[in-house]
Amino acid sequence: MSRTRILTAATALASVLALNSTAFAQSGEVNLYSYRESKLLQPLTDAFTKDTGIKINVVSASSGLEQRIKAEGANSPADLLLTVDIGRIDEAVQAGVTQPIKSEVIDKIVPAQYRDPDGHWAGISMRARVIYASKDRVKQDAITYEELADPKWKGKICIRSGQHIYNNALFAAYVAHHGEAKAEEWLRGVKANLAQKPSGGDRETARDVAAGKCDLGIGNTYYWALMMDKDPDKKPWAEATKVILPTFAGKGTHVNLSGLLLVKNAPNRANAIKLIEWLAGEQAQKIYADANYEYPVRAGVAINPTIAGYGKLNADTLPVAKIATNRKAASTLVDKVGFDN
């Protein structure tokens, strides 16, 4: 093919892509890439469309959405990315596929500790990393994260991999509060108290507590609620345990986020901002948090009764962004102490 024909073909392709991009922008819709299943989002998407007339197109996947957006480049149809955990949120920012969310509504409603200082993400709900304790063998109803390294719990703790993003965030928060040296000492203490090699997921942790393999398990708030309310086969694991909301000494309970990021080349940016702001509203906050057994980030919104049954959440005031900055240090410490060995 001659150089002239190559240039002509390239120009034609660029024109087609530009037209496609324009079509996305003129569609009156918003394209949401989500790590949450479409069926879980449908009550929200239906309500938003009813309120605004704007249709939401959901692309759901269990992994790889950041890479997909990056590969699609400037012509990506994605407007928003919905993901969970500060680890995944931070990975999307580091991939360079986001832009700042400029919204006075979000700045007013969403507390600063649940927003990116540079504006690239905002939390829409919270989950906490808590203790599943044996009802029969654990009499206390309060515990600190620091206490998990106390020798009195030797051979009595179950947990999933220390490198899993949920534990990485908890350990990163510990680093943020106490520094790397004390975090290393603490991790060695927790490792010494493990009943078995870290394995499985949070549900399996509850299973092992119920089976008497350990007295304490570490898991997220919503797993216990899902077992209790939605999974008859696993309900006995929840019934054998109680949820304790631990705290950092003198502080609050470690929380993480489900968050939204505005995609760098969002073709429907105005509609995307409308959706973000709508999700911070009272109606959406209740629907989303209730459906996912999470805590609303907006103050004054009713909490799901099962979650409320854990007791009042005194959330740690550590900015979630500081957890992101300590993720690498936490991961390094997990390997250094041989936590998963």
Separation CA 174–CA 161 (nearest Å) = 17
Separation CA 117–CA 102 (nearest Å) = 12
Distances (CA, A) of 48 to 59, 61, 270, 293: 17, 21, 14, 20
Distances (CA, A) of 217 to 152, 198, 233, 242, 287: 15, 11, 19, 10, 29
Binding-site sequence positions for Fe cation: 222-223
Separation CA 216–CA 209 (nearest Å) = 6
* DSSP secondary structure letters along 172-200: HHHHHHH-HHHHHHHHHHHHHTBSS---S
Contact by Cβ (8 Å): 246, 253: yes
Binding-site sequence positions: 222-223
DSSP, collapsed to helix, strand or coil, labels residue 258 as strand
Residue with tokens 């899993």: 164
